[in-house]
Amino acid sequence: MEDTTTPPSQPELAGEKRKREEGSPDAAVVDAPSVPAASGEDAASGSRHPMWKTSLCSYFRRRGAGAEGCSHGESCRYAHTEEELRPRADGTWDPTSHRAKKLRKVAAEAQEEAEEEVTVDEQSLDKCLVGLPRGWTADRLKAFLQDQGISYATAKKKKGMTVGFVTFESVEQLTHAVQVLKENPSGGKEIKISDANRRSHQKVRAEGPVANGTATENGSSPATPAGETSASEVVASSKKSARDAVTPLALMPYNDQLEHKKHSMAQILKRLTRNARKACPPAIPLPNWIFKSKEIGGLPCKLEGILESPIVDGYRNKCEFSVGYSLEGKKTVGFMLGNFREGVTAVEEPVNCPNVSEISCKYAQMFQDFLQSSSLPLWSRVDNCGFWRQFTVREGRCPAEAVVLQNGESQISEVMLIVQVCSTDVDEALMKEEFDKLSAALIQGATTCSPPLPVTTIVVQDHKGISNAAPADCPLIPLLMPKGNQLEGGAEDKTRIHDHISNLKFSISPTAFFQVNTLAAERLYTLAGDWANLNSDTLLFDVCCGTGTIGLTLAHRVGMVVGIEMNESAVSDAHRNALINDIKNCRFVCGKAEDVIGSLLTEYLGSPQQHIAASQSNSVINDTSKNEDTMNCPENDGENMDSSMEKNDNGENEQPRDRSVDLPTCFGDEDIKGDSVYRVNKEADSNPDEHNEAAGEQNCGEASLINDEPTDATSADSLDHGKTCQDSSSIPNNNVLAASACQFRNVVAIVDPPRVGLHPTVIKALRTHPLIRRLVYISCNPDSLVANAIELCTPTSEKQEKNKGNRGWRSMSAAGLARQRTKSMPNSEPFIPKRAMAVDLFPHTSHCEMVMLFERIGYFSVDTHSVSC
């Protein structure tokens, strides 16, 4: 049986309708659409498409009102006015119509009103006040509540935040507070009250102790309705160990960890290529290394692999243990299970953490046992109050010759224990009594272990700030000092331990930075030195030098080392380390790198403007002399000159030099006559005062450790001394550059910044100085390395743009901010990324060190060897 029903007619095109209208005028009358009032008739007759007139015509909205604005005319299936619009089959309206917008607004208001409803019961007395002024403190909030007649149990607020937290004692207080805040707004703005969630450790402690994941009271399990889950079981199900939080890759084989990290580093390096391409000015062609990146998978340079750690388990020589409460409410010394900004404050013991040594775990357990009987409270990250805050174990290892076993336990010979406290509102006598008990407990625990644990010094750090990251000038209270010390000094000088890298002995103070993986750091520094292409003619700038480990391990390969470090105790350690190892060609300056880098570069190398002007004048002189030589000099003179030329590392011709001199020299007016020769004496066999007077006045950059006498001058004194030397010099200004810079033929910078990367001022100083030809960047955070490399490697235009104060900088990534800063970078020769390699200093974690080599060949065509006095 055939189906006799006719399918619904489809809307016709304007051209087809026009043809029908020409042949049959009556048909045009039948097919003409009716007015919107007849929309119900269209649905009933079924002669129209189901979506007829259910959407607004976009062409009509662009061109004008009415059907005249649409090219389809009356045959258009879309509505041309709000009145003509029909609802869709599901009852909704066109999202762009006024009806739909009005309905969404009503729904949003209803949802907002529903969210404002506050839960009022005995179980939710913790509330959050939203809309408070940013300038209010906790005291101001308490005063406001008292003025409004609101009773409460506790009230907290931090300055700069628009929310505060109030805990009420009863439902009556909460109900009264909700009513008062609705009727009496503050400053014309209504303060809203909403529910607040307690943190995990507070919930468990309020509900009672938890044993094996089940809340108990008097040894009995609580009754839980069938089909429901108790709060304690929810906490137990989401519980993770400290091993999962600290070493997320612990269950992965080590070879797989290396491949995983290598792949991650490659993906991060690709961002450098993409961002440098975006940051390059439109009028300047892209650098060649960006074009060549397509051949190596988008990498800026070849990633040469990853260096594995010699020791995989128990490699950390410094472990910072948090002090707090576990999920069960027990006083615990270990690691936090998450970030505090995510509301996690629970601390779990360092059980089965493969990166922590057994010695550190044992000391953490000793301190945890002591806290169980201590009368002073633990530090609360929520209330920012308490006494015991943090426990740190620092370990010193034997020299490399003594390392035989793969396990690092037998290498540990010295241990420093650091206890961080907050002495605010604590009686001094009680505090001293607790310190005596703590010292006795740790010493007794170390001696009773089998075998006995080493303990060299115990130090207390009194920090009264909010964050556990204490500044370097926090007071240190020594509880135990080593009996024997080779160096004389006060109590602070004796609160140290020693470690060894590359057969050098390093003294480490409590707050000084030292790589946590000693043996892997030795491989890292060797790699950096090999890539830097060091020799006796090299001046090495060690930026963010810490205790001087990089500069001192490479000092025997260079002419001189200049280290920069902001931590005063670390600089003191660097001076001490140089003295211990009898290294005399190093100078360490205390100060922020962004504050002293410019002055130090000018002191040793001269200002960039001097070199640019000198290069321009030399180019003119060379052109003139070349023309004269072409006209007047014999042919064999050119051959002699060519034979005296030498090649540098990049294959460029250098100016001729005296081959009888082993080290770099500087020739003055008298030197040209053969009167004297100046050279840098790395071994300090001769007194620098015996040099020529003119060179002695200009050579203000000698090592601070010379002739076996350490110099304790501050960075400001050294810089002022440099300025005095230059001001009092009798050498003409044109010769100042030669006297200070041409001592060294090779200038290299090695930077090892913290996780945030280099300061923009430091990047600008390194980028704009033409004598720095090679830069080795050691990064513990590859993301910051990419951001700094964008500024170092992106070409700049002659006309630099001024920062216009982009308001979106807070939401920008580090790479985005770097691209913005390149617009204001002075015109200078960019670096070129040459090599990259990952170094695994942190096995079982996702972190990895990255070493990257940057070079530049042109650097404004400045030839350091052509500078003469």
Rounded Cα distance between 673 and 783, Å, is 55
For residues 57 and 81, the answer to whether their CB atoms sit within 8 Å is no
Phi, psi of 615 (to 5 degrees): -65, -40
Compute the Cα dihedral for 72, 74, 78, 81 and give only its sign: positive
Return the pLDDT at 553: 95
Taking Cα atoms as reference points, which of 760, 765, 783, 784 lies closest to residue 775?
Answer: 765
Beta bridge partners of 193: 129
Rounded Cα distance between 816 and 177, Å, is 46
Rounded Cα distance between 686 and 663, Å, is 14
| Sequence-separated contacts (24+) of 246-249 with Cβ below 8 Å | 246/335, 246/350, 246/353, 246/355, 246/845, 247/353, 247/354, 247/355, 247/844, 247/845, 248/844, 248/845, 248/846, 249/843, 249/844, 249/845, 249/846
Rounded Cα distance between 360 and 304, Å, is 35
For residues 166 and 145, the answer to whether their CB atoms sit within 8 Å is yes
Return the pLDDT at 616: 56
Return the pLDDT at 228: 37
361 is catalytic: no
Catalytic residue among 301, 780, 793, 869: 780
Query: CB within 8 A of 422, min separation 6: which ones?
Result: 379, 385, 386, 387, 389, 462, 463, 464
Could you read off the pLDDT of 224-280 as tens digits, one per residue?
A: 343 333 343 334 335 578 898 899 999 999 999 999 999 999 999 999 999 999 999
Rounded Cα distance between 563 and 708, Å, is 18
- Between the alpha carbon of residue 799 and those of residues 197, 790, 816, 825, 826, the distances in Å are 54, 19, 21, 10, 8
Q: Where are the alpha helices (DSSP H) in 742-801?
A: 760-768, 782-793
Q: What is the dihedral of CA 700, 702, 706, 712, to 10 degrees?
A: 60
Q: Where are the alpha helices (DSSP H) in 633-674?
A: 635-644, 669-672
| Sequence-separated contacts (24+) of 369-374 with Cβ below 8 Å | 369/441, 369/445, 370/437, 370/438, 370/441, 370/442, 371/323, 371/331, 371/333, 372/331, 374/434, 374/437
Query: CB within 8 A of 741, min separation 6: which ones?
Result: 604, 605, 606, 611, 771, 864, 867
Strand intervals (E) in 182-316: 192-195, 210-211, 214-215, 302-307
Phi, psi of 335 (to 5 degrees): -120, 145
Rounded Cα distance between 709 and 689, Å, is 14
**Residue 467: how many CB atoms within 10 A of its CB?**
10
For residues 761 and 722, the answer to whether their CB atoms sit within 8 Å is no
Q: Please give the DSSP secondary-structure letter assigned to residue 378.
A: B
Could you read off the pLDDT of 30-51 as tens digits, one per residue?
A: 333 333 443 444 444 456 777 8
For residues 789 and 854, the answer to whether their CB atoms sit within 8 Å is yes
Rounded Cα distance between 366 and 441, Å, is 8
Tell me the one-letter amino acid at 64: G
Determine the distance from the C-alpha atom of residue 115 to the mean position of all C-alpha atoms in its chain, rounded to a whole number. Answer: 38
Q: What is the dihedral of CA 234, 236, 240, 242, to 10 degrees?
A: 140
- Between the alpha carbon of residue 317 and those of residues 189, 392, 489, 520, the distances in Å are 54, 10, 25, 12
Taking the chain (869 residues) in runs of 10, the rounded mean pLDDT of each run is: 44 44 39 40 55 78 56 76 83 85 81 59 75 87 89 87 86 86 70 69 44 33 37 45 91 94 94 92 90 92 94 94 92 88 83 93 96 93 89 88 52 92 92 94 93 92 86 85 53 76 91 91 94 93 94 94 92 94 94 93 82 58 49 42 39 36 35 31 37 36 37 39 34 39 81 93 93 94 92 85 60 84 89 96 94 79 37
| Length reported for the chain | 869
Beta bridge partners of 324: 332
Taking Cα atoms as reference points, which of 167, 193, 168, 190 lies closest to residue 178?
Answer: 193
